Structure 1
Amino acid sequence: MSDIAGFGSNPGALRGRFYVPENLPRGAALVVVLHGCTQTADGYDHGSGWSKLATDQGFAVLFPEQQRGNNPNVCFNWFVPEDITRDRGEVLSIRQMIQAMVTKHGLDHRRIFITGLSAGGAMAAAMLATYPEVFAGGAIIAGLAYGSASTIPEAFDRMRGHGGPSKAELQRRLAEASLHKGTWPKISIWQGSADTTVVPSNADSILAQWQGVHGVGASPTRKETVDRQIRQVWCDVDGNELIEKYTIAGMGHGTPLQTLGDDGLGVAAPFMLDVGISSTRHIADFWGLTSRTEARSGEAPKRSPGKSVRTYAPAENPRAVRADASKAPQPDARGASATGITKVIEDALRAAGLMR
């Protein structure tokens, strides 16, 4: 693993890592993966299996990583206005990393995708809102709608399902986050029905927000069962899938995994939950990145062996310590107590001088 500086001005003072399979052809796709609070890029990749899938299917992966100097719980600052406004803060740093990857590795700028868990999911929503022209698709796992909070108290309230902008206001904030007038990215939404950290109503808010820009109705085009879980789909008039929403029955806060069997991928850990369905595989399917999708279109899958992860280093850009109201890990890998998580976060905020 090596550090590389100079991918841009890096106003968000983030670190970036990436994985590129060996002999990756020019014009390959790029997936951007954002970890959750207290996690690292390497740890989230190990749990989710994105690099392994990239080796199997032939695409590159970028892993922006938060730094403790920006946030005591290494959460992306998904609710801080200066970090989620186009061409400012953390969203600009991630955008600069993406451009560096596309330029250096000859990637297809029309096939860039982004996903994240929890605070990373909320930051993925911010990237999709502020740079919709960059992405062909996104996936938000246990995240929050763009613009749903702008202060620490609001962030806690939204996570718990209290208050928040109206559906119309959420749609307005998404539509006005950029000057974009073209096609919007397709969106995959994942939520555990028993999540007490970022409660399920947040997935409904994300859905409502994106229904506006995609011009689809409240009712899904179809509802089906996939790996024993409920999948709802919204399509355009030509039948193209624009939005999908998975509700994972009985799952707490984390990324859904299926680690066993021929299609097993990833490793269970705190907030990496082996519940019999691989969000990583299904998201890649939805985006058209896997051999299963390619087989349907008559294209051959791209496969190549991988090489080690390399890194971008953060530019020298110290910032005041700030805190994201998201979760901290618990020993129980199936989920965690909202009360315990809140105490850990509030203790960290007090230690950082951000809360009394």
Structure 2
Amino acid sequence: MGFFSMFRRAQLTLITAVFTIPTVSAAANSLTVVSNFGYNPSNVTMYLYVPTKLAPNPPIFVNPHWCGGSAEAAFAGHIDHCWDVSSNASLTHNAGGDSLAIVNMVKYVITTYKADPNRVFSMGTSSGAMMTNVLLGVYPDIFAAGSAWAGVPIRMFRSQ
């Protein structure tokens, strides 16, 4: 599987938010596990945050956590599983891996919450940044933009 295989079971935070509501208390809202979002080739877990007030056609923010992190930690802002950013499946459009699982999560949110498919963004730190780069490079038809902090470029750890 590659460099990150020892850290496999990762989780994902999908954050559906509205630009006009930048601060929402985590105590008032929480993450929800969604298991029926579609084909999940790498068996990742989807966590969804939906603000109490959801504007029509909201954007989607995908927040892959860092290595050793979790959806809960990313949502709470605390440090502490790595993404598959090296397999041919994850690095190839619609071939499988974590990247396809995340794309299917995004499609689920677009359909279920009538989110704007032209405003899908990803952001992440460390392994989350590397996955953000993979998502932007492999699925430019899905992601409009992203922001990666402390990650490496796409295909840097490519598996054979």
* Shift, 1:147, TM fit: 1.3
The count of residues paired between Structure 1 and Structure 2 equals 128
- In the TM superposition, 1:212-251 aligns within 5 A as none
Equivalent in 123, 126, 130 of residue 134 of structure 2:
126
Deviations 1:114-171 (A, max 9, x none): 011111111110010111121221011111111122249xxxxxxxxxxxxxxxxxxx
Deviations 1:185-240 (A, max 9, x none): xxxxxxxxxxxxxxxxxxxxxxxxxxxxxxxxxxxxxxxxxxxxxxxxxxxxxxxx
What fraction of aligned residue pairs are identical, expressed as a percent?
Answer: 27
* Shift, 1:78, TM fit: 1.1
1:146 lines up with 2:154 in the alignment: yes
Change (3 A) 1:110 1:2: closer
For residues 69 and 35 of structure 2, what CA distance do their matches in structure 1 show?
Answer: 22
5+ residue gaps in structure 2? Answer: 1-30
Deviations 1:87-129 (A, max 9, x none): 1211110000000001111111111100111111111100101
Partner of 1:23: 53
Partner of 2:93: 86
Partner of 1:114: 122
Asked if the contact 1:79/1:149 (under 8 Å) is kept, the reply is yes
Q: Which runs of 4+ in 1 moved over 6 A?
A: none
Deviations 1:271-320 (A, max 9, x none): xxxxxxxxxxxxxxxxxxxxxxxxxxxxxxxxxxxxxxxxxxxxxxxxxx
Asked if the contact 2:34/2:45 (under 8 Å) is kept, the reply is no
Deviations 1:56-93 (A, max 9, x none): xxxxxxxxxxxxxxxxx920011122222211211110
SS in 1 for 2:46: strand
For residues 26 and 2 of structure 1, what CA distance do their matches in structure 2 show?
Answer: 20
For residues 33 and 74 of structure 2, what CA distance do their matches in structure 1 show?
Answer: 19
For residues 151 and 2 of structure 1, what CA distance do their matches in structure 2 show?
Answer: 33
One-letter amino acid of the counterpart of residue 118, structure 2: R
For residues 80 and 24 of structure 1, what CA distance do their matches in structure 2 show?
Answer: 36
Partner of 2:112: 104
Asked if the contact 1:84/1:90 (under 8 Å) is kept, the reply is no
Change (3 A) 1:108 1:83: same
For residues 129 and 81 of structure 1, what CA distance do their matches in structure 2 show?
Answer: 13
SS in 2 for 1:148: coil
Larger helix percent: 1
- In the TM superposition, 1:290-301 aligns within 5 A as none
Partner of 2:39: 9
Q: TM-score, normalised by structure 2?
A: 0.74
RMSD: 1.9
* Shift, 1:2, TM fit: 4.8
Asked if the contact 2:85/2:134 (under 8 Å) is kept, the reply is yes
- In the TM superposition, 1:1-356 aligns within 5 A as 2-47=32-77, 74-87=81-94, 88-151=96-159
Work out which of the two has the higher radius of gyration on C-alpha atoms and give 1 or 2. 1
One-letter amino acid of the counterpart of residue 75, structure 1: C
For residues 5 and 41 of structure 1, what CA distance do their matches in structure 2 show?
Answer: 14
